[in-house]
Amino acid sequence: MSVTPLRAAGALFRRDLHMALRRPDDALQPLLFSVIVAALFPFALGADAARLAPIAGGVMWVVALLALLIGLDSVYRGDEEDGSLDQLLISGQPLALLCAARMLAHWLVVGLPLVLVAPLLGRMLGMPAKTLVVALVSLALGTGVLVAIGHVCAALAVAAKRSVILVPLLVLPLAVPVLIFGAGAVQADLIGLSPAAPLLLLAAGLALAISLAPLACAAALRLNAG
């Protein structure tokens, strides 16, 4: 009985989630990193909300970006080392669909917790309650784009011996527009402007990432395999 592409992608998705649950320390590292770094700003700048609130959006987004970089180089490197990447390549299943399943699993394990912890970070940084909604929406959209970019870069560097350094160097320039629009949406709401424009740009970026990133990731994996 042949396995349909959707069933194969679902199996890979469940495997990644199961592996993340078996190693909760790896999944918690980005979350703990974001909380610790954000908590340092009130100590460094003082607990005055009037001083912290204007930079809260930028701090939250920089922290989220850096947290997503943790362990990103190992997304495909572990599969390449144990041979399971070769199994994916010769499985006969659509590789782009399998990459999309892995991106979704990665976002649920790393990206979603960062979104859920955003209210805590925002309150620590003196962000008004009204602006927290904008921050949540921007992070929900933007972290999806960042995960997609990260997977493509990790696939490009899967055969590199120093991918720990190479992957962040590839991701950071591509992540700058996401960072600008995400922090810009929060900043716009803080000063009384509409955050709709940067949020729509993030939504468009997410739609583009969902459409193209799995294809680019699959192409990069085949290129390295060849």
| Residue-wise pLDDT tens digits, 168-214 | 899 999 999 999 999 999 999 999 999 999 999 999 999 999 999 99
What's the confidence (pLDDT) of residue 76? 84
CB atoms within 10 A of CB 4: 10
Residues of the chain with pLDDT > 90, as a percent, come to: 48
What's the confidence (pLDDT) of residue 205? 96
Place of tokens 């703990």: 32
The mean pLDDT of 73-95, rounded to a whole number, is 80
The mean pLDDT of 118-136, rounded to a whole number, is 90
Q: What is the mean pLDDT of the chain?
A: 88
pTM for the whole structure:
0.93
Who contacts 111 (Cβ-Cβ below 8 Å, separation ≥6)?
A: 68, 143, 144, 146, 147
Q: H helices within the chain, ranges in order?
A: 5-22, 24-45, 49-69, 74-82, 84-89, 95-106, 112-116, 118-124, 129-156, 163-190, 196-225
Work out how many domains the chain is built from and give that number: 1
pLDDT beyond 70 at 2: no
What's the confidence (pLDDT) of residue 150? 94
pLDDT beyond 50 at 107: yes
The mean pLDDT of 152-168, rounded to a whole number, is 82
What's the confidence (pLDDT) of residue 1? 47
Confidence of residue 89 (pLDDT cuts 50, 70, 90): confident
Who contacts 16 (Cβ-Cβ below 8 Å, separation ≥6)?
A: 101, 102, 105, 106, 109
Distance CA(153)–CA(143), nearest Å, equals 15
Who contacts 68 (Cβ-Cβ below 8 Å, separation ≥6)?
A: 30, 110, 111, 114, 143, 146, 147, 150
More confidently predicted of 103 and 22: 103
User: Position 44: which residue type?
Assistant: A
User: Both tokens of residue 4?
Assistant: 């349909």
User: Both tokens of residue 3?
Assistant: 């396995």
> Domain of 157?
5-225
Distance CA(184)–CA(90), nearest Å, equals 44
pLDDT beyond 90 at 151: yes
